[in-house]
């Protein structure tokens, strides 16, 4: 979709809504209405700066805002910043902020808040934002509505780091000089967003109400949003079916229920709104241990995995088969890489070559697989993997644990194989390179290069690509990275995840950007029927 960069947010969202099947909304949106959404699991806190969990991002995304938002093809859109400029040398970023923006407590929002957030707050608390903000040599506010970032060296992905969960802007007058994690204000979040926290009944629901002082005049349209905590997947389906809730996202609705819900007349299905996160699931090999340290073994495993089966039977047709380390919605993706179709013969041949012969029981080698602790679907994936690899003589023992147990094993390199799923965060330099570069092999740190892959050429290319300025040059480097990695199979990329978002048709303009349900919902409105 050829989207121009300076479209107004409203025009852009209207354009994006023209999905096939969605009736175009001719009338002017009207005020009023209450949206009831599912939230699962319950967020630990609504202070988005100290928790980067998805549920927190979804709810707090209505309360806190960042400088930018991103379209579904990952072009920056105005947020708290109405416009921005990047200098020719790629080192100076100037953001011009909206005027007359107020915090929920009535205090004015100014450039000083942005400076505080970028130079102090995020660097202290935010593990994902910290390395990005540290690239700034100086952050200054020449006037109340202008912020200038002077980077130490060019870093093109810098413009992709300004969505609410990556860089939420927090009020300086509340947080400066306090303990950010313990500040009592974390219980009563103060943001600039279109909705304010009214009440949070733990275990039951979160009630947000309209911010009457919101800086976009006339918005938001909704009076209130309820987030219902529904831990049971069956209950969530019933809630959507009966209209008790109007919105579900991410893994709220299990994949096998999608075809049935899709057919219901009052619900609309979209898989848009996850482009920024761009989650991918892969099979991770601990490269320190045999036989995983042998490329032939990893290729054999890759050839033995029927990824059509994974997509069609486990994810019920949702998702795209991954071709390599970069998600196809992320910039610099290149499809021109070696392919690993299902090929059991080739797989067995590679294992034979390695000298892993089948024993009397038909088993060549035994490995342990740690299942991802993020829900039933990953258990099914583990069960499938076990069966698929059994066909070529690799006996897999599945180990399940909860998030803490799994995280501890993986970050301390105490595993053989595991599945992983991770977001790519809008740019390979933000979400992909961290998994393959040698300098990010850090014991004890989850989502680093845990499997210990190291390749000097890859290190060099990722390093150069991040600071390069010339687009063609950047693309060439990322293309080479993808070709090398796919040949090497440091991990077996399985699927680019697509999540079903179900929207009750009474509501319009729900998904208007690449950050989807985590966006601020200022444009969501209800149609009277």
The label of the residue with tokens 């965060």 reads 425
400 contacts another protein (rule: CB under 8 A) = yes
Nearer to another protein, 440 or 475 (CB): 440
Backbone CA torsion sign across 357, 362, 368, 371: positive
Contact with another protein (CB under 8 A) among 266, 272, 295, 399 = 399
Q: Bridge-partner residues for 224, per DSSP? A: 34, 209
Contact with another protein (CB under 8 A) among 65, 257, 284, 519 = 257
* CA 493 – CA 424 distance, rounded (Å): 13
Q: CB 364 → another protein: shortest distance, Å?
A: 17
Contact with another protein (CB under 8 A) among 407, 413, 438, 505 = 407
Please report how the helices 295-304 and 376-390 are oriented relative to each other, as an axis angle in degrees rounded to 10: 110
231 contacts another protein (rule: CB under 8 A) = yes
439 contacts another protein (rule: CB under 8 A) = no
Q: What is the DSSP string of 405-456?
A: HHHHHHHTT--SEEEEEE--TTSHHHHTGGGT-GGG--TT-TTSSTT----H
Q: CB 410 → another protein: shortest distance, Å?
A: 9
3-class secondary structure, 81: strand
266 contacts another protein (rule: CB under 8 A) = no
Which listed range, 12-20, 78-86, 235-243, 354-362, lies at the site for another protein (CB under 8 A)?
235-243
* CA 527 – CA 505 distance, rounded (Å): 8
272 contacts another protein (rule: CB under 8 A) = no
Contact with another protein (CB under 8 A) among 69, 75, 91, 128 = 128
Angle subtended at Cα 285 by Cα 251 and Cα 370, rounded to the nearest 5 degrees? 50
Q: CB 202 → another protein: shortest distance, Å?
A: 5
Q: Which of residues 447-476 bind another protein (CB under 8 A)?
A: 447-448
| Site mask for another protein (CB under 8 A), range 29-58, x = bound | -----x-x----xx-xx-x---xxx-----
* CA 17 – CA 21 distance, rounded (Å): 10
Contact with another protein (CB under 8 A) among 213, 254, 480, 488 = 254
Q: Bridge-partner residues for 225, per DSSP? A: 35, 208
* CA 391 – CA 331 distance, rounded (Å): 37
* CA 389 – CA 396 distance, rounded (Å): 7
| Site mask for another protein (CB under 8 A), range 304-333, x = bound | -----x---xx-------------------
Q: Are strands 417-422 and 501-504 parallel, antiparallel or unpaired?
A: unpaired
Q: How many helices (H) and strands (E) does the chain have?
A: 16, 21
Q: CB 230 → another protein: shortest distance, Å?
A: 5
Nearer to another protein, 230 or 468 (CB): 230
413 contacts another protein (rule: CB under 8 A) = no
Name the strands in the sheet holding 491-496, side by side, starting at the edge strand that comes first in the sequence: 320-321, 491-496, 280-285, 417-422, 365-370, 394-399
| Site mask for another protein (CB under 8 A), range 87-126, x = bound | --------------------------------------x-
CA max distance for the chain: 77
Angle subtended at Cα 177 by Cα 173 and Cα 181, rounded to the nearest 5 degrees? 95
Contact with another protein (CB under 8 A) among 135, 409, 427, 508 = 409
Nearer to another protein, 141 or 224 (CB): 224
Q: CB 264 → another protein: shortest distance, Å?
A: 13
363 contacts another protein (rule: CB under 8 A) = no
Q: CB 373 → another protein: shortest distance, Å?
A: 8
Of 78, 81, 33, 54, the C-alpha closest to 210 is 33
Q: Which of residues 151-180 bind another protein (CB under 8 A)?
A: none
Q: CB 173 → another protein: shortest distance, Å?
A: 21
Q: CB 431 → another protein: shortest distance, Å?
A: 9
Nearer to another protein, 110 or 385 (CB): 385
Surface-to-core class of residue 428, CB atoms within 10 Å of its CB (0-12 exposed, 13-18 middle, 19+ buried) = buried
Contact with another protein (CB under 8 A) among 73, 89, 105, 232 = 232
Radius of gyration from C-alpha coordinates of the chain:
24
Q: Which of residues 184-203 bind another protein (CB under 8 A)?
A: 186-187, 201-203
216 contacts another protein (rule: CB under 8 A) = no
Q: Bridge-partner residues for 504, per DSSP? A: 267
Q: CB 21 → another protein: shortest distance, Å?
A: 23
Of 72, 168, 70, the C-alpha closest to 114 is 168
Contact with another protein (CB under 8 A) among 17, 114, 159, 230 = 230
Which listed range, 64-72, 79-87, 105-113, 446-454, lies at the site for another protein (CB under 8 A)?
446-454
Q: Which two tokens stand for residue 374?
A: 């993020």
């Amino acid at each position: 979709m050829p989207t121009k960069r300076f479209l107004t947010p409203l025009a852009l969202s209207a354009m994006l809504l023209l999905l096939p099947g969605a009736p175009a909304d001719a009338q002017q949106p009207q005020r009023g209405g209450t949206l009831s959404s599912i939230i699962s699991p319950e967020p630990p806190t609504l202070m988005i700066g100290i928790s980067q969990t998805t549920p927190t991002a979804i709810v707090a995304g209505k309360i806190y805002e960042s400088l930018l938002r991103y379209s579904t093809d990952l072009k920056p859109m105005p947020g708290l910043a109405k416009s921005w400029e990047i200098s020719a040398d790629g080192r100076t970023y100037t953001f011009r902020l909206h005027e007359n923006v107020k915090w929920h407590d009535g205090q004015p929002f100014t450039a000083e808040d942005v400076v505080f957030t970028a130079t102090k707050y995020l660097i202290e608390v935010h593990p994902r934002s910290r390395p990005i903000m540290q690239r700034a040599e100086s952050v200054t506010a020449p006037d109340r509505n202008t912020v200038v970032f002077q980077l130490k060296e060019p870093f093109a992905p810098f413009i992709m780091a300004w969505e609410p969960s990556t860089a939420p802007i927090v009020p300086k007058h509340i947080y400066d000089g306090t303990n950010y994690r313990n500040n009592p204000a974390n219980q009563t979040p103060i943001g600039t967003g279109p909705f304010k926290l009214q009440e949070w009944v733990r275990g039951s629901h979160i009630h947000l109400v309209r911010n009457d002082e919101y800086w976009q005049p006339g918005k938001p349209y909704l009076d209130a949003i309820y987030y219902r905590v529904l831990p049971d997947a069956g209950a969530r389906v019933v809630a959507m079916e009966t209209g008790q809730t109007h919105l579900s996202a991410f893994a709220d609705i299990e994949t096998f229920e999608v075809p049935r819900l899709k057919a219901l007349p009052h619900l609309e299905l979209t898989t848009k709104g996850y482009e920024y996160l761009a989650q991918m699931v892969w099979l991770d090999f601990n490269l320190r241990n045999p036989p995983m340290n042998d490329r032939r073994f990893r290729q054999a495993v890759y050839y033995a995995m029927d990824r059509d089966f994974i997509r069609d039977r486990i994810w019920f047709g949702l998702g795209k088969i991954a071709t390599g380390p970069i998600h196809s919605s992320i910039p610099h993706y290149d499809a021109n890489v070696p392919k690993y179709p299902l090929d059991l013969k080739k797989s067995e041949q590679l294992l034979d070559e390695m000298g892993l012969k089948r024993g009397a029981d038909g088993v060549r080698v035994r490995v342990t697989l740690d299942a991802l602790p993020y829900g039933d679907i990953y258990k099914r994936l583990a069960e499938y993997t076990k069966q698929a690899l059994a066909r070529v003589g690799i006996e897999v023992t599945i180990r399940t644990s909860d998030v803490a147990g799994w995280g501890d094993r993986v970050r301390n390199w105490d595993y053989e194989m595991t599945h992983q799923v991770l977001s790519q965060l809008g740019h390979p330099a933000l979400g992909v390179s961290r998994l393959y570069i040698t300098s990010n092999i850090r014991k004890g740190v989850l989502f680093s290069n845990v499997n210990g892959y190291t390749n000097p050429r890859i290190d060099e290319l990722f390093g150069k690509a991040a600071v390069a300025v010339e687009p063609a040059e950047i693309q060439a480097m990322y293309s080479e990275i993808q070709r090398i990695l796919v040949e090497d199979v440091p991990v077996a990329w399985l699927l680019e995840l697509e999540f079903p978002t179900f929207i009750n048709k009474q509501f319009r303009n729900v998904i208007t950007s690449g950050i989807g349900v985590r966006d601020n919902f200022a444009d969501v409105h209800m149609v009277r029927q």
